[in-house]
Amino acid sequence: MLDTFETVVPGIFVDRASCLAGIIVAGDRALVVNPGDPGLGSRLWEAGVRQVEQVLFTHHRRELADGLDELRELGAAEVVVPAAERELFEHPAAYWDNANTRWRLLCGHVPYHVTHVDPIPVARAVAEGDTWEWCGWKITVLATPGYTDGAVSYLVEENGQSVVFCGDLIYAPGMVRDFYCLQHGNEQNGHRVGDYHGFLGSMETILASLRRLPLQAVLVPAHGEVIAEPQAAIDLLDERFRAVYRNYGSISALRWYFPAYFAHVQGHGEFLPEQETFPLPPNVIHVSCTTWALVAENRRALLVDVFGPKDLAAATKLVETGQIAGYDGIWITHYHYDHMDTVAEAARVLDCPVLTDQVMAPVLECPTDWFLTCLSPNAVQVDHPTADGETWRWENYTLTAFHFPGQTLYHSGLFAVPDEGPSLFFAGDAVTPTGIDDYCTWNRNWLGEDVGLAYCLKLLRELDPDMIFNQHVEVGFRFSPEAYEIMLDTLAEREELFAAMLPWEHSNFGTDEYWVHTWPYEQQAVAGDEIRLEVRFFNHAPEMRDAWVAPLLPEGCESEPEVLRLPCRARAESMAVFTIRIAPDQPPGRLVIPFHIEFGGQDLGSFREAVVAVS
């Protein structure tokens, strides 16, 4: 009956569903590693297992525990977890109630929001070197951080046979499951960056963890393929990681801010030379920090971004000292808090309208609807949401607004052409004199010929502004025709390099975490209320794909419909809409509703969630 499962070595099996669950069987008893699939319990029962004695977790991702409740019906299994992640199993509310994991996220993304909803009682927390025996098998714990900080692997041995359950360190030879979980602070060449700036920051940790595994063992990852030849699989991963990193570093905007950090990448292949820079022209004032002003002939001005109260004070002072006659509007380059935290206050104090791209406006107007990195809880009323390419006259300028999916998908560009003098492009944080800003996967930078930064670069090349401005760079700059070529070629090569490493139909599924997300992410409700919840899918695949989605509700809550199957158009957003009735006796507090998701025939488990603040 055990032939329902795939044999790894005699006595050890995997169940291949939403994840690769490991099963060790002794008579009618079993030990399970990462029980991600809700159907696993019944399959074990049918295979003759009557008692699951231990359940081991390699790391704390929520969907790896989707099958745990069902296993509990097969006996009171002891749950074993990595000691470093114990709190995330036993007290997940501490994560959900922490504002630092929700707002202005630069680092609070790690440990990661695909976190358990209900507490999971832990029988044993284990760490490096712990060993025990189960039915003749020797189990040894190896600390293998990388996919998550506290992850462990389990080496299981008997009579010369050995298997390592290695979590999500590797997916298949030369592949990892995604890049967005590998975004992490790290140090290179003596320069340290935080999580936000650490693209593939977990790469070295992952490789070091993999190199610690006994190479005669068979590797069983939490997702992907059983790996019979670990050495070759890890070597290929190492080689591909380094090729991707060189490609990334060669045109990174971050080289402008932290040149030392990339010193080891320099000299490998095409490396974008630093581009020509210019002192600021008299009609562009760097007010303070990320706050800038575009000044007209009559000294009226347009503010570009307002970060904090200090920056607003600096802008006000320019009026008091007569350098500026007054402000006619505030343009927002993108939704990151360091560009708009005080915009609402500035609009009131300076009595001027707020303008920005219409794609970004909903994020600014109701931030609780979204879960995005660097998001501010301070809502901003956008008085004039601009259409892509919308042009208008303001004083001695012709201004054109653009949707400019550069550093983030929710980003604008402003092209200002004065009647006389150089043409200017306010590019937000999208580019610097050393290249493009895509060091944070959480920002949703898409790869593809006419999306993301490739789209932005083509637009800039066509507009050919005399000077480009980045809100963090205190000079103007421009890209040479060769620079555009290098950056676009590098991006095209990158798409192929990423695709080879990521097990998705398009690499954007493995870099854009929010290709599927709930909306609104967070809302308020009273017990007994009916609320509307959407699950939005952006299908990065070149063809139509089917999605299947179901909310996982606590007792007493109901959903209409209970399950939705929907076709998702290629390269477009589709949404599944649910009406959810909150139980009349739902206790006040934070209700986290996970959604079970399947896409393109792939079961992703409880991959996303929405939050309801019940009062």
Interface residues with Zn ion (CB under 5 A) are 336, 338, 407, 429
Query: Would you say 429 or 438 has its CB closer to Zn ion?
Result: 429
Least separation in angstroms between residue 438's CB and Zn ion is 11
Q: How far is CA 448 from the centre of its chain?
A: 18
Least separation in angstroms between residue 437's CB and Zn ion is 7
Q: Which two tokens stand for residue 426?
A: 């306010």
Query: Would you say 407 or 511 has its CB closer to Zn ion?
Result: 407
Least separation in angstroms between residue 536's CB and Zn ion is 23
255-261: long-range contacts, CB 8 A cutoff, minimum separation 24: 255/432, 255/434, 255/435, 256/432, 256/433, 256/434, 256/473, 257/432, 257/472, 258/191, 258/193, 258/197, 260/189, 260/190, 260/191, 261/188, 261/189, 261/191, 261/193
Distance CA 146, CA 526 (A): 41
Distance CA 532, CA 519 (A): 9
Distance CA 532, CA 520 (A): 8
Query: Would you say 306 or 591 has its CB closer to Zn ion?
Result: 306
Query: Would you say 271 or 439 has its CB closer to Zn ion?
Result: 439
Least separation in angstroms between residue 107's CB and Zn ion is 15
Query: Would you say 350 or 440 has its CB closer to Zn ion?
Result: 440
Least separation in angstroms between residue 498's CB and Zn ion is 22
Q: Which two tokens stand for residue 60?
A: 């704390």
Least separation in angstroms between residue 533's CB and Zn ion is 29
Distance CA 175, CA 149 (A): 19
Phi and psi based region of residue 381 (left: phi greater than 0; alpha: psi -120 to 50; beta: remaining): beta
Question: What sign for the dihedral angle of Cα 201, 203, 204, 206?
Answer: positive
Query: Would you say 333 or 586 has its CB closer to Zn ion?
Result: 333
Least separation in angstroms between residue 411's CB and Zn ion is 8
**How is 174-193 classified by DSSP, letter by letter?**
TB-S-SGGG---EEETTEEE
CB 79 within 8 Å of CB 32: no
Query: Would you say 70 or 429 has its CB closer to Zn ion?
Result: 429
Query: Would you say 409 or 501 has its CB closer to Zn ion?
Result: 409
Query: Would you say 233 or 375 has its CB closer to Zn ion?
Result: 375
Helix runs in 433-570, H state only = 452-463, 481-501, 508-511
Report whether the peptide linkage leading into residue 309 is cis, meaning its omega lies within 30 degrees of zero: no
Least separation in angstroms between residue 512's CB and Zn ion is 17
Distance CA 174, CA 492 (A): 20
Least separation in angstroms between residue 607's CB and Zn ion is 26
Query: Would you say 341 or 429 has its CB closer to Zn ion?
Result: 429
Bridge partners (DSSP) listed for residue 62? none
Burial class (CB in 10 A: 0-12, 13-18, 19+), 530: exposed
Q: Which two tokens stand for residue 247?
A: 């490609």
b/e map 242-254, b = 16+ CB within 10 Å: ebbbbbbbbbbbb
Distance CA 463, CA 423 (A): 9
Least separation in angstroms between residue 305's CB and Zn ion is 8
Least separation in angstroms between residue 342's CB and Zn ion is 14
Q: Which of 410, 438, 441 is nearest to 177 (CA)?
A: 441
Query: Would you say 245 or 439 has its CB closer to Zn ion?
Result: 439
Distance CA 118, CA 129 (A): 29
Least separation in angstroms between residue 430's CB and Zn ion is 9
Query: Would you say 34 or 408 has its CB closer to Zn ion?
Result: 408
